[in-house]
Amino acid sequence: MITSIAHATIYVLDQNEALDFYTNKLGFELGDDMSVEGGFRWLTVHAKSQKNFQLVLAEPKEGPMFSKESAEAIRSLIQQGAFGAGVFESEDCQKTYEQLAAKGVQFIQTPTQQLYGIEAMALDNSGNWFSLVQRKK
């Protein structure tokens, strides 16, 4: 029986740049950073308060998982902003928005009241969009 979700993948254009963005701009912590023969790099980050759920920052490259054509197609879709990185929660969306904007995070929607709470939308440095949500109490 499955008991939890441990990892989710975000495809990025450059792992080093994504690591810098997710740790230095969003405040995530480094989880694992391991390279194996053949150039595959297992790179994860996690929210400081949630070490048991990690985001895999994966660079689509030709290899065992992707053909050259598939890797190029995924990279193209990332650049077009076709992928979402998920929903990140905050106790104070407005304050977090201001802190992240001051660090240079690009927002495509300022904090806005929604049925479920307050939501802002931003882009990571690869072009993936994500929601920043303060849930309604």
Condensed to tens digits (0 to 9), the pLDDT of residues 43-62 reads 999 999 999 999 999 999 98
Q: How many helices (H) and strands (E) does the chain have?
A: 3, 8
Burial of residue 134, with CB atoms counted within 10 A of its CB: 0-12 exposed, 13-18 middle, 19 or more buried: buried
The confidence score (pLDDT) of residue 23 equals 98
User: pTM of the full predicted structure?
Assistant: 0.93
Sites in the chain below the pLDDT cut of 70: none
Which residue ranges make up each domain of the chain? Answer: 7-135
The confidence score (pLDDT) of residue 96 equals 98
CATH class of 7-135: alpha beta
- Tokens 């994500």 — which residue? 130
- Quick one: residue 127, left, alpha or beta (phi over 0 = left, psi -120 to 50 = alpha)? left
Q: Which residues contact 120 (CB under 8 A, 6 or more apart)?
A: 93, 96, 97, 107, 109, 110, 111, 112, 131, 132
